[in-house]
Amino acid sequence: MKTKPAYIVIDTNVLISAGLLPQSKTAQVLALAVEHFVIAQNQQTWHELETRIARPKFDRYFGDSGSMAHLVKIAQSMQHFEVTAEVVVSRDSTDDKFIALALDAGASILISGDPDLTDVRMHQGVEVLSQAHFFERFKPL
């Protein structure tokens, strides 16, 4: 019998940071997340990632094809969801899309470095964790 995958939502700043510094703690967090979960994305969160990573300020980190390679790596570990949930919970309304995605994907964890999200802590069964808290919980023994 095939088991249902566990989903996780990772906000844009964490995904980009992991690609910018491949040896960083944030990159380790992304690797642990991919090891234990399937990354949930939707059209809105994926579009945000694509447009932010394409900003000229990141060119020196990713090089000519590095940003595309990072996006491909993430895409191989994700599943797309249609979001129907409407939530108003974060101080920054542009962050609510991540909590809505987590609810519709059935994800129990949202990883974020954004205080507007981490201050939420828990919403309808979705726990918002900083990279450090996620790492502490899932780091290898």
| The dihedral formed by the CA atoms of 78, 87, 118 and 93, expressed in degrees to the nearest 10 | 100
> What domain count does the chain have?
1
Q: Which residues contact 48 (CB under 8 A, 6 or more apart)?
A: 12, 97
Domain that holds residue 52: 7-138
CATH code at position 119: 3.40.50.1010
Structure tokens at 106: 């059935």
The pLDDT tens digits for 47-91 are 999 899 888 888 887 776 667 777 778 888 899 999 999 999 999
SS3 content of the chain, % helix, strand, coil (to 5): 55, 15, 30
CB neighbours (10 Å) of residue 67? 22
- pLDDT at position 62 is 76
